[in-house]
Structure 1
Amino acid sequence: MKSMPQEYYQKLEDIQAIDFVLVELTLYLDTHPDDTQALQQFNAYVQHSKMLKQEFESLYGPLQQYGNSYTGYPWSWNEQPWPWEV
């Protein structure tokens, strides 16, 4: 497997941490839909997640396939490692 710089792993870990927070907030909001503070937190974390993912993808390539991530030229989806392999 291709070796990646330490920054790659740190950025990927940051994305995973934010997405974990979003999962937890989603579960909380399913049972507390009127909690405006939680809604504000959710929206702030969504924005932060999108920013982190956009930055990651601009440096290392797509995180998701099937139209969920843009790709550059040349097509690089088949290059390793894929995010779920690290």
Structure 2
Amino acid sequence: MNRPKNRKELLNHINQVSFAVDEVKLYLDTHPCDAEALAYFREFSRERNLALKEYARIYGPLTVDTAEDTCTDRWNWINEPWPWQEGGC
């Protein structure tokens, strides 16, 4: 998948792949043996994690899972603009 170039596009991409992951998780709750759905989950989960890490690297973390990669010297992610500030969303 091609990665979005700017902050707004990257947030939009994260929202899209997050939605796909959440929906397929619900499906897998009732269809745990669906190999195609599991592959879809793995693909979009990997894409979501990559996008979250990319966002954290460039703009600061959106989730606590990606905070450790960008806040190694101090807890500075609170100082970054929130996604809804400065036209982030």
TM-score range, shorter-chain basis? 0.7 to 0.9
Q: CA deviation at 1:29?
A: 0.7
Q: CA deviation at 1:77?
A: 1.6
CA distance in 2, matches of 1:8, 1:23: 22
Identity rate, percent: 34
CA distance in 2, matches of 1:84, 1:25: 27
- TM-score norm. by structure 2 comes to 0.76
Q: CA deviation at 1:78?
A: 2.0
Task: State the match for 2:83 in structure 1.
Answer: 83
Give the total of aligned pairs: 79
Structure 1: which 5+ residue stretches go unaligned? 1-5
CA distance in 2, matches of 1:75, 1:31: 40
Q: Select the structure with the greater relative contact order (CA < 8 A; seq sep ≥ 6).
A: 1
- TM-score norm. by structure 1 comes to 0.78
CA distance in 1, matches of 2:61, 2:80: 11
Q: Provide, for residues 52-81 of structure 1, a one-character-per-residue CA deviation record: whole Å limited to 9, x for no partner.
A: 11111110011123xx22224564322242
Structure 2: which 5+ residue stretches go unaligned? none
Q: CA RMSD in A?
A: 2.0
